[in-house]
Chain A
Amino acid sequence: MKRLLLAAAFFAVLLLLWEGAYRAKIWSPVLLPSPRQVVSYLESAAADGTLAKATVITMRRLLVGYFIGLVAGLPLGLLTARWKLFRDTIGTMALGLQTLPSVCWVPLALLWFGQTEAAMLFVVVMGTLWSVVIATETGVRNVPPIYRRAALTMGSKRLHMWFQVILPAALPFIVSGMKQGWAFAWRSLMAAEIFVTILTGFGLGQLLHYGRELSAMDQVIAIMFVIVVIGLLADKIFFSPIETFLHRRWGTSQA
């Protein structure tokens, strides 16, 4: 309860400072709208459905692309961990491509796929995939050999060994890779949406882009706020429970 109050107080102070800066007229109101203007934009965008529609479009792109990235990345990671041939080829490629900021895929995606949903998906998949591949490989290769040996003596082999021993043992690594992949995918999708208008759907990035075009700072700030909230929610709803579970099971954290 005390923690909650302190956090609430912190954000209240932040809002007050903002309001104060607006009233002091240090910057033009075009550049710094008041918190109330931002809220009223949010209200109108929520009322006419713009916000919900854009959020749904963005989240669909993100989730579908992320899912594809996971489904492709996990087996590729397992292969690179298991066979030297894959490590030298796909593993090296993944390592290289992971260092490439995922925004850099946007120009290529546009040239290949044009202004289509496929381009958006491609960018998200590229953002997710390599992090997941590398995390899975690292995780599997860090599984203590004693687990494998113990499982072997109990009669575990092949698929059972992979699914009941190697994968669970590598889970902490895999989850942190999934989290990183999510962050990369989210960033690259926003970049793609800001750069390109795609007629099949207006996402949050596009709203942000038009906010800039119209010099509608209230819209820009409001959409940024929505993007932050989505990021926070993804963390709290999806990743935090998994991480809490892992920490509790593995005993890796006091919290």
Chain B
Amino acid sequence: MRRTARRRSTATEELQPIAPSKLAIEEVSKSFQSASGTVLALDRVSLNVAEGEFVCLVGASGCGKTTLLNIIAGLERPDSGTVQADGKPVTGPGRERLVMFQEPALFPWLNVFGNVLFGLKLKPNLTKKDRHDVAKYYLELVGLSRFERANIHELSGGMKQRVSLARALAPNPRVLLMDEPFAALDALTREQLYGDIQEIWKARRKTIVFVTHNVREAACLGDRVLLFAPHPGRIQEEFVVKLPRPRDINSVDLAAHATRITKALKSLGQAETVAVK
């Protein structure tokens, strides 16, 4: 088994990287009833995510990217089509596919440490000491060791999302599903978190599906960027971003990729307007 550099020598089995899984989404469709009739949120979407891959889904609001994420998470069922994680069909939510939501979704009745422990307590075969070591490890990883006893409302927005990240990472999920996790944060905090997430992704070899409407963010983080088109929701185009990591959101190379994706996104918008006319 491959071992990555670790900060703690006392780390247990829990901190060992496990072979990341692969996601196979095939012909997934999903529609919703709305006031204006039936909306086809996803129209026969197929997508494969390789082990350890970082895939970003971009697109305008309402193009079905969050719906797809929820379906992968098992929080929603597709009307048709299949989702497989590691070769097994997804039938409901599970801790091998943890979600990080746009809102922090931290539990206010627990302190920071209690929140990170929450998922660990649901994992079998861990001793109390294991859980505490793992929780401490991830709090250190996101740079919040000093705040483990803090109440949630005492944290800033960025700190809350860091705790959310630690909480999502702690049970060592194979897949991390992130739904615009940084959208509500200020630019500076966001830039720090871009660095953090790339570092963690590299160190822990996660498979990440990351939803965003920020093209630059997608180009900065993703190995692949999938452009979603709305009405009906579908994958329009795929961009492979081959830049060395860690990537700086402000780099010129990155800007070139972002521009390419933005252009495609804009032409999509125009096509949409024409179609409506």
Chain A residues with CB under 8 Å of chain B are: 146-147, 149-156, 160, 164-165, 168-169, 171, 248-251
Contact = CB atoms under 8 A, between A and B. Distances in A.
Given A153-B97, A154-B171, 9 more contacts: A146-B105, A149-B75, A149-B93, A149-B105, A153-B99, A165-B107, A168-B107, A250-B153, A251-B152
B103 interface: yes
A250 B108 contact: yes
Nearest to A170: B109
Interface in B73-126: 73-75, 92-95, 97-99, 101, 103, 105, 107-111, 118-119, 122-123
A154 B106 CA distance: 12
B101 A154 contact: no
Main secondary structure of the interface of A (DSSP, over half): helix
B93 A153 contact: yes
Interface of B: 73-75, 92-95, 97-99, 101, 103, 105, 107-111, 118-119, 122-123, 151-154, 167, 171
A149 B122 CA distance: 15
A146 B95 contact: no
Contacts of A171: 109
Given A155-B95, A155-B123, A249 B108 contact: yes
Nearest to A150: B105
Contacts, number: 67
Question: Which 8 pairs show the lowest CB-CB distances between chains A and B?
Answer: A251-B153, A154-B119, A168-B109, A155-B95, A150-B105, A155-B122, A152-B93, A146-B105
Interface centre among A154, A171, A250 (most CB of B within 10 A): A154
A241 B99 CA distance: 35
Contacts of A152: 75, 92-93
B122 A160 contact: yes
Nearest to B75: A149
A147 B101 CA distance: 10
B169 to A, nearest CB: 12
A249 B95 CA distance: 27
A152 B92 CA distance: 9
A151 to B, nearest CB: 7
Given A146-B103, A251-B153, A251-B154, A154 B109 contact: no
